[in-house]
Amino acid sequence: MPIGRGGAPLTKFAQAPSSPFMERLAESFVLPAGPGDSLGLAQVHVQSWRETYPGLLPAGYLERMSVPLYARRWRHQLTRARPTELVLAAEGPDGLIGYCAGAFDAEASPRAEVFTLYLLREAQGFGLGRRLLRNAARVFHDQGAASLVLWVLADNERARRFYAHLGGEPVAERAVRGWGGGLTEVRYDWCDIGGLAVH
């Protein structure tokens, strides 16, 4: 079971419950992640990849993904995080159920980038992914970002519909290295990050 930690909420995820799981999600929060979340983030990362990418990435790669390895990577990243980096964690009553990570460097570009956004499959479809992305956009907007970009696998149709629904525009493609080749990513842009941040 993914683990998390308590803390003051950045945003509470709350709407009228329509199912037992929805009722549990109504108790979820979006919070800045810290080193103590490393194991929970790793568990979400590995489980969400195994739920998201069968048929898109090699089965052997997904099977070999290691929670302890990713926990060490998260701990290293979060203990050395720069002010330009952001990791938000979605936490439910039983621990972490999703996260969003990105960065904005005002000296390098007026554009922020989200690198990853994942939710456990059971937590999808209730608006929590939208909350993660919009909270990230709000933080970057407050830091001075003018726009937002992210990359998603071209064959990940569910994720592409999600980003398009939130106003992202597909503007570019690139080949993905690794995993045997043959994969393509699509870049989605939000030219006005403020529009995403305020809704």
Ranking 13-22, 36-45, 54-63, 118-127 by mean pLDDT, the lowest is 13-22
Beta strand ranges found along 95-146 (DSSP E): 95-103, 111-119
**pLDDT for res 24:** 56
Coil, strand, or helix at residue 159? helix
**pLDDT for res 182:** 85
Q: Is the dihedral of CA 61, 63, 69, 71 positive or negative?
A: positive
Is the pLDDT confidence value at 14 over 50? Answer: no
Coil, strand, or helix at residue 4? coil
Is the pLDDT confidence value at 13 over 50? Answer: no
Stretch 16-22: mean pLDDT: 48
Phi, psi of 173 (to 5 degrees): -135, 155
Ranking 5-14, 68-77, 95-104 by mean pLDDT, the lowest is 5-14
Q: Note the pLDDT tens digit of each residue in 36-80.
A: 999 999 999 999 999 999 999 999 999 999 999 999 999 999 999
In the sheet where 11-13 sits, what is the strand order? 11-13, 28-32, 85-92, 95-103, 111-119, 147-153, 183-190, 169-176
**Nearest CA-CA partner of 100 in 45, 54, 162:** 45
**pLDDT for res 26:** 62
Q: Going from the N-terminus, what domains does the chain have, and what CATH number goes with each?
A: 11-145 (3.40.630.30)
Q: How does the average pLDDT of the chain come out, rounded? A: 88
Residue given tokens 């489980």 in the structure block: 47
Is the pLDDT confidence value at 187 over 60? Answer: yes
H/E element, 81: none
What count of other Cβ atoms lies within 10 Å of the Cβ of residue 95?
Answer: 18
**pLDDT for res 20:** 54
Band of residue 11 on the pLDDT scale cut at 50, 70, 90: very low
* Dist. CA 12–CA 24, nearest whole Å: 12
Q: Where is pLDDT greater, at 134 or 179?
A: 134
pTM for this entry: 0.86
Q: Where is pLDDT greater, at 49 or 9?
A: 49
**pLDDT for res 7:** 38
